Amino acid sequence: MIKMGMLLGGRYEILEKIGTGGMSDVYKAMDQKLNRNVAVKVLKQEFSENANFVSKFLVEAQAAAGLMHPNIVNVYDVGEEDDIHYIVMELVEGITLKKYIEKKARLSYKEAVSIAIQVAMGIEAAHNNHIIHRDIKPQNIIISREGKVKVTDFGIAKAATSNTVTSNVMGSVHYTSPEQARGGYSDEKSDVYSLGITLFEMLTGRVPFDGDTTVAIAIKHIQEPMPSPREYVEEIPVSVEQIVLKCCQKTVDRRYQSMGELIDDLKQALVHPDEDFVQVVDPDETGATRLAEEPVYEEEDEYEEEEESIGFRTSSMGHTGTMKLRTGRVPEELLEQEELEEEENNKTEKVTIVLIVIVGLIILILIVFMIFKIMGFFDGTANGILGNTVTEESQEEAADVTMIAVAGEDEDTVTARLRALGLEVSKQYEESDSVSAGIVISADVSVGAILKEGDTVTLTISAGKEGVVIEDVTGLSMDEAVALLQQQGFTVSTSEGYSDTVEKGYVISQNPEGGQTVSKGSAVTIRVSAGSDDSTVRVPNLIGLPLGNCEEELAAVGLLLGTVSEVYSDTVEEDLVCEQQYGEGSYVERGTTVNVTISLGATPTSYSYQASIEAPTAEEAPQYVSGATVQIALMSDSGKTLYSASVTEFPVYISISGITSASGRIIMTYTYDEVETEATESSAAVTKKTTASFERVVTFTEE
């Protein structure tokens, strides 16, 4: 059970809950080791004991762990503690593209294309790492307060081992490609299609295909022609229209073959929006067979030459012509034979045409039968489209759903269970003296009732004694926010604050925050944007960027790069920023210098060496004499001198820690007297000082 203030993995302090989904909750947390805010996605308790759910939950971390790109929400860590499974990610403060579209109704083509370029760049980075997202949609695209666009939720992504990957996994049906809807292969061009649908929605404020059920929508992706966005918004430039249509071609070979190609056209559309430069290559044209030209017949001339006629066919439709060769006058027997052959040919052609029509009708009937069979018109279920999978929950979504008991259970648990059955959930809150806040009181559908996939169940949830759940009004205009909160029975007060990311007159924050349960009639304070304050600027996020990009990011908002230090980091790759002086989102004076710390990579393994060094042996140093001075040097394999001393007595005890090499060598050097001239009766022996050395290989102990 997650509680505020608890510590996960010995470093992530849970601060507040910032989001929830069908399988997981998302919390804002403080990484105490790196002193930065992160997002922690936690698998809900009711799913943590199910190995299948745990596997699906962790697949996101596995898919995105190796990706590092400014347009991708980075995954920092993954762990498990006391049956709590969690993923640690970059915290991006902002709103989803879906909410941004809803807020603005539709975007201008320049803004839509600019967002699409950033999304495509993030997806291209994933494709370069052989990762296909498979669930590109506005809900999985976040626009930060600084205006950066980031792709998130690689929950059904899969690493590609070849250019095409067979998979029955399909993302959200409104944005899914035809090949995913069929349950067939999906590759990088499936992400191109989904991004095209997303661009269509940005431009028009609506999706191109909609329906009452996911099956109906999926069929439209497969069968219905893609509408032009200019049908809904006439001022969309022709180049942008053609880009959308090329992205959303039914045949994968007619789409952009890579995100790089799409990015090139999107950039050109910003510069030359009214030019018709988008080229759609039809793979059928290159391999098409040209029909033979109509034969040219010679007219008979004045010469009395006989002509022999030979029948021939010029097309698959059975056209019969006559080729004339000049040979002289044609005998009557040949003319009669030619007429008989021509009559026989005509009869054969008629029979062939009839047979073709009959076979065509039979094939058409079989196709219709198969479609009806696949969609479940003959067995009472809709098992899929040209396959057994339309969504991850295929048969449960297509089949009738029996309403479960929900009264007395936790709100989040009930919501997850109903959505797992393929039902939509609507909520309303009411005060209750007998039911605790957050517990379901009732539903508008009785237990055991039969529903259809996609039906909505309205839950009545307790707000506790004198309790009301506050609506989240951040991002709304001040008038809309005040009206909505007053409608809930709250007393509203306002304050102003500067913001570089929230438009003037719109709500920056609220206190208490949306989603909390408070007493009816409570006071709610909303902070309204007064626009940008020229004297202060918001610090961007530099974590994970190369040093060369930091100066550009800071300069873009009027800040300067300060001192650069280095430190080992187990979470941030080498040569990337792992710490910054001011946290992301904090406000500082324009022109302030921001110090950063660069990662040296993972903390290296260290070793220690404790030993008693004995005197040289006769085998090592035949000329060594006890009591002679010996120079001892301990060297690591990297060439670093760890210890050095001159001694005359042994043994010598040494203790060293923090060594970065696993092994090394002891070098001993000593001096002895070497006889140069032997002694005689008339003279003493002549000697000279000679230096000798030897080595001992040693192994260090890992600390």
- Kindly list the catalytic residues: 135
Residue type, 473: V
User: d(Cα 550, Cα 672) in Å, to the nearest integer?
Assistant: 62
**3-state DSSP of 412-433:** HHHHHHHHHCCCEEEEEEECCC
8 A C-beta contact, residue 193 and residue 123: no
Give the three-state DSSP class for 65: coil
Which whole-number Å values give the CA distances from 445 to 30, 80, 423, 438, in the listed order? Answer: 42, 38, 12, 19
Q: What are phi and psi of 239, to 5 degrees?
A: -65, -40
8 A C-beta contact, residue 535 and residue 485: no
CB atoms closer than 10 angstroms to residue 133: 28
Per the document, the length of the chain is 703
User: d(Cα 565, Cα 423) in Å, to the nearest integer?
Assistant: 53
Q: What are phi and psi of 191, to 5 degrees?
A: -65, -35
8 A C-beta contact, residue 470 and residue 502: no
Q: What are phi and psi of 519, to 5 degrees?
A: -70, 145
- Which residue reads 């969504």 in tokens? 391
- Which residue reads 């040919």 in tokens? 345
CA 245, 248, 250, 254 dihedral sign is positive
User: d(Cα 167, Cα 184) in Å, to the nearest integer?
Assistant: 6
User: d(Cα 462, Cα 435) in Å, to the nearest integer?
Assistant: 6
The terminus-to-terminus CA distance of the chain in angstroms comes to 36
Give the three-state DSSP class for 598: strand
User: d(Cα 61, Cα 53) in Å, to the nearest integer?
Assistant: 14
Give the three-state DSSP class for 29: strand
Structure tokens at 267: 């950039």
Q: What is the DSSP string of 532-592?
A: --TTEEEPPP-TT-BHHHHHHHHHHTT-EEEEEEEE--SSS-TTBEEEESS-TT-EEETT-
Residue 498 is given by DSSP the state: -
For 420: left if phi > 0, alpha if psi spans -120 to 50, otherwise beta; the answer is alpha
User: d(Cα 527, Cα 510) in Å, to the nearest integer?
Assistant: 6
